[in-house]
Amino acid sequence: MEKNDTIFSIRDIHVEVEGKEVVNGISLEIPKGEIHALMGPNGSGKSSLVNALAGHPNYAITSGEVFLDGKNLRELDATGRARAGLFLAFQYPLAIPGVTVANFLRSAIKARDGGDGALQNFRKNLTDKFQLLDIDKAFATRYLNDGFSGGEKKRIEILQMLMLEPRVALLDETDSGLDIDALKIVSKGINAGARNDGGILLVTHYQRILNYVRPDVVHVMINGKIVHSGGPELASQLEERGYDWIQKESMEIAGA
């Protein structure tokens, strides 16, 4: 595969929540090895889009197509999409008391691969990822996200991504609530994931994480639509000027 080969394709996706359309005709393509940032103000539909793509039952894709490595994800449920190589890091990770971090990861890898073969180097891989993300090895035996701080939860989300090595990772506001030290560590993990030749769609409000994770493409989403796309410099423009100017531009184009 060449660098420019598309592995994830979204074509004219519409999403409804409780009968209300919140995503209105989104299209984008992510080639192998690329990081795409999806930015926009609160309520623009960013989180609704990624939840729908991952198969969350409360977010209904009413029309459009989603392909991952040529597979039509709309034909698969959330589990099938995960097995196909789609990963979602939650904005608000859930705690699972009674299930340790290590056992959760073992079960996830086995469920994806259908056997124990992928667990051959599990312990070493887990140790390596703990070191990369500056996670104390004691977390392996702690219950998943139970009593974890916000920063610890986000590191564990990125740990899951690195252990599962998905084809495409959807990261829903992974930077929210992080102090600068945690942000740098989480960013290091995201960059490491991008080097696995998958694709990443990083949802964020702010430019600050993009100081450490350099996107190949930045998309701006407003009122359920992508109204503008550009290079990494677009994130800096949004930081300086906010979203009003680009929203005004898109309205003028629509009215032309």
pLDDT at site 222? 93
Kindly state the helix (H) or strand (E) to which residue 14 belongs, with its residue range. Answer: strand 6-17
The predicted structure's pLDDT at residue 66: 97
In the chain, the domains with their CATH numbers are 6-255 (3.40.50.300)
**130 pLDDT above the threshold of 50:** yes
Q: Rounded to the nearest 10 degrees, what angle do helices 244-255 and 233-241 cross at?
A: 100
101-105: average pLDDT: 96
Q: Which residues pair with 38 in a beta bridge?
A: 203, 219
pLDDT in tens, 132-156: 999 999 999 999 999 999 999 999 9
pLDDT tens column, 182-203: 999 999 999 998 877 789 999 9
Dump the DSSP string for 161-202.
HHHH--SEEEEESTTTT--HHHHHHHHHHHHHHHTTT-EEEE
Which helix H or strand E contains 159, and what residues bound it? helix 150-164
Cα–Cα nearest to 65, from 80, 75, 79: 75
- Per-residue pLDDT for 4 more than 60? no
Share of the chain above pLDDT 90, in %: 75
**Mean pLDDT of the region 49-73:** 96
Angle subtended at Cα 112 by Cα 111 and Cα 116, rounded to the nearest 5 degrees? 65
Is residue 132 within 8 A of residue 188, CB to CB? The reply is yes
The per-residue pLDDT for 31 is 94
